[in-house]
């Protein structure tokens, strides 16, 4: 039978497996950092209204520059992220994964490299691979914070074209402070001072869940710093596929060189605009999830787990002699969490209070079993 390897596929894709968390039908699914709350009914009705209006014009291509949506996103960031941005600073695409892909298409590519500090979001490396960008795995400390001196040394040594900083970091939940980002930014520019500098991408997919402020204000006066965001988590709209970035206007000009024409459908733009009308309601759910996240941290510690401090809508917990077996045991009890391949650790998404209770009960039983 013909398989992938019989095809003239690119050498670097040979023998690889696609990204994919198991999509299993179990009672409690806490493995992909989704928001557990469905969109409120009035918003669902508003989406239907706006999509119906868009449908009247589906014979035409959508607004290629998504001006209304980008303006609304800029307004949202200006209001919530501590720094004024405008249309020219904001770009949107089908999920922040597409935003990151466009950034690597424009700033990475063959002969270039990107660095991330691992464990971190595995898609950074996969998107690098997909765009032919070399991947460098930078270090993290035992406690999953970024060791600034070691990171700066790695940047000086490898002179990457793109630096990824995930804050709050997936899968560990660890926030990165502004001083660290600035140190990495300066190191990245210094390492490529003979060229045009390096792009630093701060992935703030979980920014709204953080105890601290957004890193967005750091883009001021730093044209090579990009902050990426998504509506998949805080806005409870993973199915929508809408991500965006904020940066100097020149970065927005650059990604337009590689984006597909009309990449953002009129239906997507209409839906995202409707969701943004309900920002305050949706951010109310975020507050509930933050409280549940903090409860998970407290209760997991009370049960006797180690927990990594979290600024996201998930919690990394352990430590297990064999995380894979622990993952299985929880699944046997109807609770699906994530094994990100970090030795000894698992990750659980903050769900509804009932889901979190079910998860905590399952962990309690697991810990009893392990100490028996
Ligand atoms: C979930 C996640 C994303 C979001 O991806 P979308 O394509 O916007 O759904 C981006 N970065 C990180 C770190 C994530 O965990």
Q: What is the pLDDT of residue 15?
A: 87
In the DSSP assignment, the letter for residue 170 is T
Whose C-alpha lies nearest to ligand 1, atom 4? 96
The rounded distance, in Å, linking the Cα atoms of 31 and 44 is: 25
The overall average pLDDT reported for the chain is 96
Q: How far is CA 351 from CA 28, 168, 315, 319, in A?
A: 9, 18, 11, 21
Q: What is the pLDDT of residue 24?
A: 85
Mean pLDDT of 247-270: 98
Instruction: Specify the ligand 1 atom closest to the Cα of 238.
Output: 9
The H or E element that residue 115 is part of is: strand 113-117
Q: What is the pLDDT of residue 19?
A: 79
Confidence of residue 113 (pLDDT cuts 50, 70, 90): very high
Distance 100 CA to ligand 1 centre (A): 10
Q: What is the pLDDT of residue 13?
A: 87
Q: What is the pLDDT of residue 219?
A: 98
**Interstrand relation of 199-203 and 162-166 (parallel, antiparallel or unpaired):** parallel
Q: In what order do the strands lie in the sheet with 306-307?
A: 306-307, 314-318, 346-349
Tens of pLDDT, residue by residue over 198-253, are 999 999 999 999 999 999 999 999 999 999 999 999 999 999 999 999 999 999 99
Mean pLDDT of 342-364: 98
Q: What is the pLDDT of residue 346?
A: 98
Poorest-confidence range of 9-23, 138-152, 196-210, 294-308? 9-23
Mean pLDDT of 329-351: 97
Evaluated on CA atoms 186, 86, 205, 302, the torsion sign reads positive
Q: What is the pLDDT of residue 371?
A: 77
Q: What is the pLDDT of residue 270?
A: 98
Distance 4 CA to ligand 1 centre (A): 27
Is residue 101 pLDDT above 80, yes or no? yes
Q: What is the pLDDT of residue 147?
A: 97
Is residue 16 pLDDT above 80, yes or no? yes
In the numeric block, which tokens belong to residue 85?
Answer: 């941005």
Q: Domain locations in the chain?
A: 21-39+280-371, 41-277
Specify the CATH class of 21-39+280-371 in words: alpha beta
Is residue 372 pLDDT above 70, yes or no? no
CB 245 within 8 A of CB 91: yes
Q: What angle do CA 75, 171, 258 make, to 5 degrees?
A: 50
Alpha helices by DSSP H, the chain: 41-55, 67-80, 96-107, 122-130, 148-158, 178-191, 249-255, 266-277, 279-303, 323-332, 353-371
Question: Ligand 1: residues whose CB is within 6 Å?
Answer: 33, 95-97, 121, 166, 170, 203, 205, 230, 232-233, 238, 243
Q: What is the pLDDT of residue 366?
A: 94
| Residues in contact with 149: Cβ distance below 8 Å, sequence separation at least 6, in sequence order | none
Tens of pLDDT, residue by residue over 38-83, are 999 999 999 999 999 999 999 999 999 999 999 999 999 999 999 9
Instruction: Specify the ligand 1 atom closest to the Cα of 96.
Output: 8
Residue with tokens 């900083």: 165
The rounded distance, in Å, linking the Cα atoms of 220 and 214 is: 13
Mean pLDDT of 327-356: 97
41-277: in CATH 3.40.640.10: yes
Write the burial class of residue 118 (CB in 10 Å: 0-12 exposed, 13-18 middle, 19+ buried): buried
In the numeric block, which tokens belong to residue 109?
Answer: 């590519």
Tens of pLDDT, residue by residue over 151-167, are 999 999 999 999 999 99
Distance 96 CA to ligand 1 centre (A): 6
Helix (H, G, I), strand (E, B) or coil at 289: helix
In the numeric block, which tokens belong to residue 73?
Answer: 């996103």
Q: Which backbone phi and psi does 2 adopt, to 5 degrees?
A: -75, 130
Confidence of residue 22 (pLDDT cuts 50, 70, 90): confident
């Amino acid at each position: 039978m013909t398989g992938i390897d019989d095809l003239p596929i690119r050498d670097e894709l040979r023998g690889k497996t696609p990204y994919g968390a198991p999509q299993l039908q179990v009672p409690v699914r806490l493995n992909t950092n989704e928001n557990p709350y469905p969109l409120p009914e009035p918003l669902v009705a508003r989406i239907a209204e706006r999509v119906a209006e868009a449908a009247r014009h589906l014979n035409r291509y959508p607004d290629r520059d998504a001006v209304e949506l980008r303006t609304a996103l800029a307004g949202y960031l200006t209001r919530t992220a501590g720094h004024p941005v405008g249309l020219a600073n904001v770009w949107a695409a089908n999920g922040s994964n597409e935003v990151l892909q466009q950034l690597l298409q424009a700033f990475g590519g063959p002969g270039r490299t990107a660095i991330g500090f691992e464990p971190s979001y595995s898609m950074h490396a996969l998107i690098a691979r997909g765009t032919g960008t070399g991947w460098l795995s930078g270090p993290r400390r035992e406690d999953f914070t970024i060791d600034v001196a070691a990171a700066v040394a790695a940047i000086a040594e490898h002179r990457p074209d793109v630096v990824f900083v995930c804050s709050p970091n997936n899968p560990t939940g660890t926030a990165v402070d502004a001083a660290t980002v600035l140190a990495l930014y300066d190191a990245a520019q210094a390492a490529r001072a003979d060229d045009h500098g390096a792009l630093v991408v701060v992935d703030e997919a979980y920014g709204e869940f953080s105890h601290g402020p957004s890193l967005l204000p750091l883009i001021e006066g730093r044209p090579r710093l990009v902050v990426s965001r998504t509506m998949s988590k805080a806005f409870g709209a993973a199915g929508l596929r809408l991500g965006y970035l904020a940066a100097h206007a020149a970065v927005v000009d650059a990604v337009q060189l590689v984006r597909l024409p009309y990449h953002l459908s009129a239906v997507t733009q209409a839906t995202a605009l409707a969701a943004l009308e309900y920002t305050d309601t949706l951010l109310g759910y975020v507050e509930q999830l933050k409280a549940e996240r903090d409860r998970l941290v407290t209760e997991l510690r009370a049960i006797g787990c180690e927990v990594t401090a979290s600024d996201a809508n998930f919690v990394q917990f352990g430590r297990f002699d064999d995380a894979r077996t622990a993952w299985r045991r929880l699944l046997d009890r109807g609770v699906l969490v994530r094994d990100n391949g970090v030795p000894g650790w698992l990750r659980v998404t903050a769900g509804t209070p009932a889901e979190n209770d079910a998860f905590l009960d399952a962990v309690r039983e697991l810990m009893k079993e392990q100490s028996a």
